[in-house]
A and B are shown apart, each in its own frame.
Chain A
């Protein structure tokens, strides 16, 4: 690797050849503000916040896109630079609603903190502000164009990471805005509700559709029985909302807190993850044995499901018919659990806590319920749960850890692994190996499935069969894989795990704002630690799952499972 020397603010510094000025400065510990920069994507140069003065250049230079060069002389905080940055912020503020006090992103807003950091203290520019209607059509995401600074991060995430391109810039000049095709609601667009745009958004222009008020109302209603389930990735990320370091697992504290605010039962979605493995593993074994459609693709990530329905309907037969763990839990809570407890299913309010905005959409799918009631009534994201705790004055960190409720509180760590990319694969391989061979793996850790890489491939010997499996996260990666399959078949692959969000649920669209790559990594490692230390690491060894089959479901892929745990997929034509 070649290094070069350059000068920044009078200091001699070293940089890697090929780095941008921004990378070089940040490496040297010089902070440079950005609004539109996304690590790992090509710079777009839209916000101009990162401008610096470079000797010899007539204009200020955007550091995000300008390569550092040998001998370059840079000023990153000269009066000219600061004036320019401040003017840019002032211009944005001049077109921004003055409602920080009411904004859901207050305190976590890049625009707000940049304005503070740059010392913007007076209103030099005023005039007309852009006024456009909010888009509240989506069950997952609310768009408020008035708060949009048009940094384009959402557009790029949607296009370049997710390959969905549901939104883009419309119009020109000061009348330009971000919108869907034909400027219709997000609900009728190709949006797959992943919420990556929400996490990327520097302001409150994109936020989840909140169900906090609904849940508060349910909790206050003495006539209903409010049940919670929490997804594997929530317990390793929510701590960040309370100022703890990323990666702290607060499972027990969270359970305790949920009980404090009135949830009658707190179940662990990892339990139904184990159940999913039983169903999905059996389905895979069945397909392999009976010449079914292969490769089989996981179905637990709802954004991915809508993606297939929208963009690749021809792959619907490849999708596992299993419902996601959330919906499996929803279904058995309102059937088996209701029966066991003698509760009227209509009096049960089922709340799931998810790292995901697409889960809100999934819960609302018409096929996900019975007797005109949904299996899952409300979905809260990790962020909303934190808000709920704050509203109700419950601080999990002050509590004693508690265990989840039976019968759906027991889980294997394989189910917990669902929270990271490759987790489903790892859990499935452990169980499928047993289902097909009757023997356990010697080492249940499947290293090839682990890590944050967007695409991982593994081949596992299961008895006579060489099982080919691919793990992808982000729909951009999924799209690439599907195109490959369409092109040459990839006959060697039997099983594909797809997670909508890059890195899986630990980096979901409902997770705390402002997480850097390190934080996501920490969340992932927390899951691996849980697995390493767990007494129960195999889904098929979950006794509660076995009991559920014995008492209620019968057997995997049986009649009851078919009705409660499996579903079907529809083709979606957004242009229709």
Chain B
């Protein structure tokens, strides 16, 4: 190997390499970074080489192992260049087909292409994949192209030309001036000006100076530096050599953690190659400048990222920081002036020297120049390495490049800068990512760790995780960091831990803890010895700043809003259920074939099992841990409930009724819907005499009035309601508030309390002229007319405005009525945003209903007081607002007319005001009631359900009824209207069904699919559409349960 004695030798060699290089030659590049290696790319290399040989392509095709391509989520990644055909998740078994189809048949292996989850389209070329398309790759530019083991490949692609330029034509001060002018700032965290730092070290007296590369990457979830080294080691070496020249250092150390064996191997090889070529060592390129680079392997301590600790570690001492001054530039490693920069900072240097400070300063934002590589991880679809210019918004990174959060969950916050950083909440998603903006939000750019969190992440838990990390990674030297972080962690522990026997003193201590938390954090911040300690409290301060409500929920309500803190949540399914049903318990019973037991468990918590088995929006399934891990399919809990209620009649459950006594009172419940009936039933069980006043001829409220029979068969509902009645509870039908009786009258009659649960039956209208035209119907009136009286009000061409469940019900009911030709739904956003249940939309479409997305009504067309049609305007979705929601905006000039015979308006409902006279209302026009006590503005009058919340869910109404019953009971028995929240943890052990050992080896079963009545048998009748699953299917599904409860229970 010839040694370059002068810059011209290097350039001659480069010219020769370029001359010999054929840019059109086919190259199969695949990622050989640690991430893809772990996913099988080592085997894949051999398989690809074998396939190339087998198909006789060895002469024309190269297989090239490159560094990390960044798209780690879909690794191993293979790109066929120069066409840039992009394959993902390629396995060794795919190699043969990939080579044959792509290179011999000139076709494409479709199944290995990337599918854009948004559009569902497959993408052929690397540059068209959104993950790459929105990035600006400067540092990582060569990562998918370059063979990191070959110095010639680097030289061919322009490598070491910056070194040649610096040594050949620039003075050290000139290099520093260029770097300063470029505005390069340290990529390790603090963002100090690199040029200034170099200058300080250069100006220090001293014969021997050191430059150091900090490759002790330690943030949880961050691995950009590793990939930068693995993919392009010479770039970092070249940066260091140029830097050493500028500073006047003759020794350099790369401090790399030993857990990065591949990075160390690439660097070791790189150093040897560079030395061999005279690019490193004595008299580099004949310039007289000499530099020796050695690698020091660190044992992997987070604190060794701190400059002084790192230097002590290099010296062979324990990695503990020392106070500054003296600064490293004055007295660094072995007492010599030293300059430390992060891997990525060094990597930027050759680019700046090559392309000039102006080019570099042209990228990025005002004070943060250039690009930054982020390691994008957590709750995001496309995890991987992302390089963007400073100033790019967090939204672009997370949504456009990262593909958003998976499983339709909501983005909640992003943790930037690892444990030393802070979180940026969703409201600030449009923040431009640069040093200053991020810092103003209490986070730091840091070395580039970016952890995305969705709404299932508890911020208290997150803070706890980081404190745990910090307290075990603190070096233990200074007291505030060592002792303080430990106490902070313990305070967070008390917030997330239930106390089985809660005493007042415990609550007080917990409260004290939270009070001291901030003090403690501030003291640590201002007194700790090094950067680690000074930033250690950041995760707590940052989450306290933005998510104080979550801390308060943990503290006061003993509740984890995200459903994540295990000990406050117990079984997530139970925690997710508004009435606290022991879901895990009945699912376990189903798995064991104990259906009566299962029914009892359901019924203990919920008086409406049959209704909920059909129409509940099943928040339990959203919380189900099976849905958050593995295949991501939650247990079909509602389906299992449906199975149970089909097996067991409501009459099988006989609740215990407390006999009447001195504690008994007479209570009036107004409204016979789920909220009212539940409250009445629960109060009757407590021994009170309850009368339910229902306006209609049938009890059930919205269950009977609005929900159609094909979703909730009437005989089922009637049987269920009948089972709730007992000697303490009677229902007076056809008794309307305001018409037949008043609240005053009830109280005067001797009722000790009145519970108003009259629901939200008043449909909101469009507020357009001629809205009173014949043929325009409020949604609820339309549904009630049919459900309660059998009136067919829809005729001919029917339009439905709205996208919620009422609108969907109205559309499907209309479709079943005589004389209806067709039904079209008009919705202002897209189908994805429709609030109606996905399965309902699906079923409606299957039955023949059509949906017009992104339209809004602008005028009613009528003739002689009768509807003839509607005028609509088309909408488009705006850029997302602060809450991330996209608003529909009308597109000017896009108006169009539709001819209609019937228009059903089902956009929203509110309570009927007339009946609420004398009571305070909320600003949304609902009845105001204290959320804890359910008391209205009038003593003795309580309220709950849709009348207070506006149209909501069935289970929400049932929950309101249950809680109101507790409060009304406390009211009439003279107790404080307050209860101490108690954490409900699983306490009953149920032996798991089946042979567990077999299950561990069995393939994970898929979620059960629910059979539906075939479309042709249901479109014109009201037979129940959703059918029950078979016993075998139910048991199988039940046994899929992960049994989170077993963590809390003991076998008896």
Listed in ascending order, the chain A residues whose CB lies under 8 Å from chain B are 43-48, 51, 58-60, 62, 64-67, 80, 83-84, 87-88, 91-92, 94-95, 124-128, 149-150, 152, 168-169, 171-176
Contacts and interface: CB of A to CB of B under 8 A. Distances in A.
B472 A173 contact: yes
Contacts of B483: 88, 91-92, 94-95, 174
B322 A45 contact: yes
B323 A149 contact: no
Contacts of B323: 43-45, 62, 64-66
B482 A174 contact: yes
A124 B491 CA distance: 11
A80 B483 CA distance: 19
10 closest Cβ contacts across the A-B interface?
A176-B476, A45-B323, A91-B483, A65-B323, A174-B486, A127-B490, A173-B474, A87-B523, A59-B526, A48-B527
A91 B480 contact: yes
Nearest to A80: B526
Contacts, number: 120
A171 B472 CA distance: 9
A114 B516 CA distance: 21
Given A59-B527, A84-B526, A172-B301, A46 B486 contact: no
Contacts of A44: 322-323, 477
Interface string B457-476: 00000000000001111111
A172 B476 contact: yes
A112 B128 CA distance: 69
A150 B476 contact: yes
A91 B487 contact: yes
Interface of B: 301, 303, 318, 320, 322-323, 325, 470-480, 482-487, 490, 509, 512, 516, 519-520, 523, 525-529, 534
A174 B475 CA distance: 8
Contacts of B318: 168-169
A245 B339 CA distance: 51
A86 to B, nearest CB: 9
Contacts of A84: 480, 523, 526-527
Contacts of A124: 512, 516
Contact of A172 (B472, B527, B528): B472
A125 B520 contact: yes
Of the listed residues A43, A46, A65, A168, the one surrounded by the most CB atoms of chain B closer than 10 A to its CB is: A46
A66 B476 contact: no
A229 B245 CA distance: 68
A125 B515 CA distance: 11
B482 A173 contact: yes
Given A173-B482, A174-B471, A174-B486, A48 B529 contact: yes
Contact of A92 (B479, B509, B519): B479
Contact of B486 (A43, A152, A173): A173
A128 B489 CA distance: 11
B298 to A, nearest CB: 13
B485 A174 contact: yes
B484 to A, nearest CB: 6
Nearest to B484: A91
A135 B401 CA distance: 58
A126 B318 CA distance: 30
A45 to B, nearest CB: 3
A91 B476 contact: no
Contacts of B477: 44, 46, 150, 152, 169
B480 A87 contact: yes
Most buried by B among A44, A62, A127: A127
Given A88-B527, A127-B486, A171 B322 contact: no
Contacts of B526: 51, 58-60, 80, 84
Contacts of B480: 48, 84, 87-88, 91
Contacts of B485: 173-174
Given A48-B527, A51-B527, A84-B527, A176 B486 contact: no
Given A45-B322, A59-B526, A124-B512, 11 more contacts: A47-B479, A48-B479, A60-B526, A60-B527, A64-B323, A91-B480, A91-B483, A92-B479, A125-B520, A173-B482, A176-B475
Given A46-B478, A169-B320, A94 B529 contact: no
Contacts of B487: 91, 94, 125, 127
Nearest to A51: B527
B529 A45 contact: yes
A173 to B, nearest CB: 4
23 contacts: A48-B528, A48-B529, A64-B323, A87-B480, A87-B523, A88-B523, A91-B480, A91-B483, A92-B479, A94-B487, A95-B486, A125-B520, A127-B490, A150-B476, A172-B303, A173-B470, A173-B476, A173-B482, A174-B483, A174-B485, A175-B472, A175-B476, A176-B482
B479 A91 contact: yes
A81 to B, nearest CB: 9
Contacts of A87: 480, 484, 519-520, 523, 527
A84 B523 CA distance: 6
Contacts of A176: 475-476, 482
Contacts of A95: 483, 486
Nearest to A151: B479
Nearest to A85: B527
Contact of B479 (A43, A60, A65, A149): A149
A172 B475 contact: yes
Contacts of B322: 44-45
A174 B476 contact: yes
A493 B529 CA distance: 46
Contacts of A80: 526
A95 B490 CA distance: 13
A271 to B, nearest CB: 47
B476 A125 contact: no
A94 to B, nearest CB: 6
A47 to B, nearest CB: 6
A176 B478 CA distance: 11
A110 to B, nearest CB: 13
Contacts of A51: 526-527
Contacts of B527: 48, 51, 59-60, 84, 87-88
A171 B523 contact: no
Most buried by A among B484, B485, B526: B526
A171 B471 CA distance: 12
Select the residue from A67, A87, A171, A175 with max chain B CB neighbours within 10 A.
Answer: A87
A30 B525 CA distance: 25
A65 B529 CA distance: 11
A148 to B, nearest CB: 11
B524 to A, nearest CB: 8
Contacts of B509: 126
Nearest to B468: A173
Nearest to B303: A172
B479 A88 contact: yes
A180 B475 CA distance: 17
Contacts of A64: 323
Contacts of A173: 470-476, 482, 485-486
Contacts of B473: 172-173
Contacts of A127: 486-487, 490
A339 B303 CA distance: 66
Nearest to A175: B472
Contacts of B475: 169, 172-173, 176
Contact of A125 (B320, B472, B478, B516): B516
Given A127-B486, A127-B487, A174-B486, A66 B479 contact: no
Nearest to B528: A48
A62 B529 contact: yes
A379 B849 CA distance: 101
Nearest to A45: B323
In the complex, which of the residues B472, B523, B527 has the most CB atoms of chain A within 10 Å of its own CB atom?
A: B527
Given A66-B325, A67-B325, A46 B301 contact: no
Contacts of A92: 479, 483
B534 to A, nearest CB: 6
A149 B486 CA distance: 14
